[in-house]
Amino acid sequence: MKIFFTASFILIFSTLQLFSQNLYDPGQVTIVEITFQESNWDQILKDFNAAGNDDRLLATVEINGTSFDSVGVRYRGGNTYHPDNVKNPLNIKLDHVKNQDFQGYEVLKLSNGAKDPSALREVMTYEIAGKYMAAPLANYASVYVNGNFHGLYVNVESINSKLFAERFLSNPDNARFESNPSYSFNQSPPNPPFGCTTGHGAAMEYLGPGIICYFDHYEIQSQTGWEDLRDMTQVLKNNPANARQVIDLDRFIWMSALNSLLANLDSYLGASPRNYFLGKADNGRFVPIPDDVNESFGRFPWLTVPQTGDPQPPLSFYTNLDPFFGANDDTKPLLKAIFGNPTWKRMYTAHLRTMISEIFTNGWFEQRAAGLQALIDGPMLSDDNHFYTYDEFLQNLNTTLVDFYDGEDAFGLIPLMDGRIQYLLGLPEFQATPPVIGNFSASPANPQPGTSVTITAPVTAGATVLLGYRSNLKEMFELTPMFDDGAHGDGAAGDGVYGVSLTMPVGGVQFYIYAENSTAGQFSPERAELEFHQINTFADVVINELMASNQTTIADQNGEFDDWAEFYNNTSGTIDLSGWYLSDNPQLLTKWQFPAGVFLNGGEYLTVWLDNDETQAGLHASFRLSASGELLILVKPDLTIADQVVFGPQTTDVSLARCPNGTGNFIQTAATFGADNTSACVTGTDDIFENTAVKIFPNPASERVTVVVDLAGEKTAAIWSAFGQKMLETSFSGKAEMDVSSLAQGLYFIQIEGKMAGKLMIVR
């Protein structure tokens, strides 16, 4: 007997809100309630910290209403811990005794905000970083101890093997290091062991052949890996042109640009480089992740070591910080390599230009800062253990305060960044005119695996054009030239259209385009390599739609809002999926197997819940998807890959779907669970207005939103929900004012004349 699974088999509870608030939801304050049996818990934790044995005190911890017992709690060390503090940073280990987690997270890191009167620096820096590179998630947490409100904390995702595995699909046993020296930033480097040279923090310097040379500068987090670290630094010293082969250069460039833009000297940029992690990906390259950014936005005053007792530099030092600092510094070999290579330097400048445009000159920074202030206003007003007054919290966004914690200036964030942006945009490198990359074309548009596809794009004011491409999320992007010679499918020679041909693997390719002239460079998409274009192939059975961050859209038969994937049969016949596999790991294609008796009729849909819960009825796979981006693979019983999709960061309650249905490339759309995608494709988030100035503000919004469009004549603007429902509509000329106070919190799409113009987040 055949068993047919279709969308009608699944009970849907899309109106039931039976999900738990996301631990790192940026629009919500996480609630953490700690209950100790001991009334003198604070002194016990301070005694544990003084002993330095990493001992923990057992407690019951409730997170957003979910309770855990036998949890291990300790105070975190670092510069914001002090035995005289009432509110010290916390480390909460849910699996200290039992195998338990909250939404897959086993450890909570809570920062106390001791060096930030604004309470904005850490959360905003991580949020900005996450737009361009792999970075920890962060939000705020109201912490209660034994029933009493203990204060507002910053809740930061722990950087561990889980994070590296999810962001990069890397083996948990790969080499992994916390790049923090064992000596303080204001101390001279220790005398090196015999046979080693003096190191300057965790600067990726080659210090000698012995692994002992590196022990004072890095803290290993894996079982092995010192030799890998040493070999990487040796390449940077002797063959800096080969840096891309040993480190994810694009991610390091993004991280360096972020540190420079936000004047974060407590980083690789500083005199004693620190506060980032290095993990070795399965492709053999180390990948960096920023850490401990609480002194971003000019809060870290020391530039040279040692400088104890020297006065803090003035505001102008931070606003006018050279963005190419380190270009001639042998103690920063990777920065020296980047700024010594004209193409890499132009890539760095292009990334900086993108961040300036998307974060600062468009007004996002001020709007987001004000939104976060409003979000935490209540907890800050109630926080009697905070290091600053409520008025100081409000003032530090715009006003410089003297920080009593270390006696240094905490510059107003907006004046600091206004001066910094003005300085950067006045530099020749930022006044240079970069190339303009037009929309790419692929021929054929929907290729079959194993066939050739030609990718072309018009480029103006460019002298060199490169295509970065890969077929697997674990691979590095390979760079190959594109040509305007009339011999690469690019039309006529010299017509400004560049082309290159590739053989399509199963699942297609991910790619970006980079163009430069003698003075400036430009990426398409601008957030490459984190974001990329994609051309997908298609077969008889395809992955047709998926959702990697489902909070409110569709619930399974148990009322749980889990990840899901939809499959479609492009043929007219029935296909037996018994014994096929799903996986998110190309090294483990048999991760989850379809049970016997699963058939998919021609032209029909099948949904699998990706929730790591095979005990539930229906089709529930043994793994989840990562909203930060990864891949999903459909595998035949003979272990050949039938289809795969590689995706970058996903938006909550927004699908990734083939457009057109069954054969097209993937775009983000409103969900069409178990149905044809065609109707949702017109509301996809590909920006049709990319050559037209569109402003949507404030965004996020709560009561009203303004849409400004540089289009002549009367137009119609509409707001659509993630479910594909038109919520509001208005006619306007030039500027539309829309009352959104009646809309529920969540993600919406704004259309103008039926075309996608942007996303809108409603928060309250």
Q: How far apart are the C-alpha atoms of 304 and 329, rounded to whole Å? A: 13
Q: What is the DSSP string of 487-546?
A: SSSSSSTTSSEEEEEEEPPTT-EEEEEEEE-SS-EEEESTTTTTS-EEE----SEEEEEE
Q: How far apart are the C-alpha atoms of 556 and 673, rounded to whole Å? A: 12
pLDDT at 285: 97
Q: How far apart are the C-alpha atoms of 543 and 605, rounded to whole Å? A: 10
Angle, alpha carbons 728-729-735 (nearest 5°):
115
Q: What is the pLDDT of residues 188-203, one digit of tens each?
A: 788 999 999 999 999 9
Q: How far apart are the C-alpha atoms of 35 and 164, rounded to whole Å? A: 32
Sequence letter at residue 266: D
Q: How far apart are the C-alpha atoms of 762 and 483, rounded to whole Å? A: 45
Least confident of 298-312, 628-642, 695-709, 727-741: 298-312
Q: How far apart are the C-alpha atoms of 468 and 454, rounded to whole Å? A: 14
Residues near 608 by beta carbon (within 8 Å), at least 6 away in sequence = 564, 565, 567, 582, 619, 620, 621
pLDDT at 18: 32
Query: Quick one: how far is CA 602 from the chain centroid?
Result: 38
pLDDT at 687: 43
Q: What is the pLDDT of residues 198-254, one digit of tens each?
A: 999 999 999 999 999 999 999 999 999 999 999 999 999 999 999 999 999 999 999
Query: Which value, to the nearest 10 degrees, does the dihedral of the CA atoms of residues 220, 222, 226, 231 take?
Result: -110
Taking CA atoms, 726 is separated from 77, 680, 718, in Å, by 51, 12, 7
pLDDT at 685: 42
Q: How far apart are the C-alpha atoms of 87 and 149, rounded to whole Å? A: 11
pLDDT band at 6 (very low <50, low <70, confident <90, very high): very low
Q: What is the mean pLDDT of residues 454-464?
A: 93
504 in Cβ contact with 665 (< 8 Å): no
Comparing 18 with 380, the larger pLDDT belongs to 380
Backbone phi, then psi, for 94, in 5-degree steps? -65, -35
* Statement: residue 661 has pLDDT above 50: yes
368 in Cβ contact with 124 (< 8 Å): yes
Mean pLDDT, the chain, rounded, equals 89
537 in Cβ contact with 550 (< 8 Å): no
Backbone phi, then psi, for 89, in 5-degree steps? -65, 145
Least confident of 167-171, 747-751, 753-757: 753-757
Q: What is the mean pLDDT of residues 87-105?
A: 95
Q: How far apart are the C-alpha atoms of 276 and 287, rounded to whole Å? A: 10
Taking CA atoms, 579 is separated from 122, 625, 674, in Å, by 48, 21, 22
Q: How far apart are the C-alpha atoms of 696 and 680, rounded to whole Å? A: 22
**How is residue 323 written in tokens?**
């963005």
Q: How far apart are the C-alpha atoms of 458 and 460, rounded to whole Å? A: 7
Domains in the chain, start-ordered, CATH in brackets?
29-156 (no CATH), 170-361+388-431 (no CATH), 436-535 (2.60.40.10), 541-681 (2.60.40.1260), 694-762 (2.60.40.10)
139 in Cβ contact with 122 (< 8 Å): no
Backbone phi, then psi, for 8, in 5-degree steps? -70, -15
392 in Cβ contact with 405 (< 8 Å): no
Backbone phi, then psi, for 423, in 5-degree steps? -65, -50
Q: What is the DSSP string of 556-616?
A: -TTS---EEEEEEE-SSS-EE-TT-EEES-TT-TTSEEPPTTEEE-TT-EEEEEEBS-TTS
* Statement: residue 630 has pLDDT above 70: yes
CB atoms within 10 A of CB 25: 17
**How is residue 332 written in tokens?**
């920063």
Pairing of strands 29-35, 138-145: parallel
pLDDT band at 95 (very low <50, low <70, confident <90, very high): very high
Positive or negative, the Cα torsion across 253, 256, 258, 261?
negative
Percent of the chain at pLDDT above 90? 66
Backbone phi, then psi, for 213, in 5-degree steps? -60, -20
Q: What is the mean pLDDT of residues 142-148?
A: 98
pLDDT band at 722 (very low <50, low <70, confident <90, very high): low
685: left (phi over 0), alpha (psi -120 to 50) or beta: alpha
Q: What is the mean pLDDT of residues 592-614?
A: 94
Residues near 539 by beta carbon (within 8 Å), at least 6 away in sequence = 448, 449, 506, 570, 642, 643
Q: What is the mean pLDDT of residues 103-112?
A: 95
Least confident of 146-160, 453-467, 632-646: 632-646
pLDDT at 306: 43
395: left (phi over 0), alpha (psi -120 to 50) or beta: alpha
Q: What is the pLDDT of residues 493-547, one digit of tens each?
A: 999 999 999 998 887 898 999 999 999 999 999 999 998 888 888 889 999 999 9
Q: How far apart are the C-alpha atoms of 52 and 49, rounded to whole Å? A: 5
Q: How far apart are the C-alpha atoms of 165 and 163, rounded to whole Å? A: 5
Residues near 621 by beta carbon (within 8 Å), at least 6 away in sequence = 582, 591, 592, 608, 609, 610, 611, 612, 614
For the question of whether the overall pTM of this predicted structure is more than 0.85, the answer is no
pLDDT at 143: 98
SS3 content of the chain, % helix, strand, coil (to 5): 20, 30, 50
440: left (phi over 0), alpha (psi -120 to 50) or beta: beta
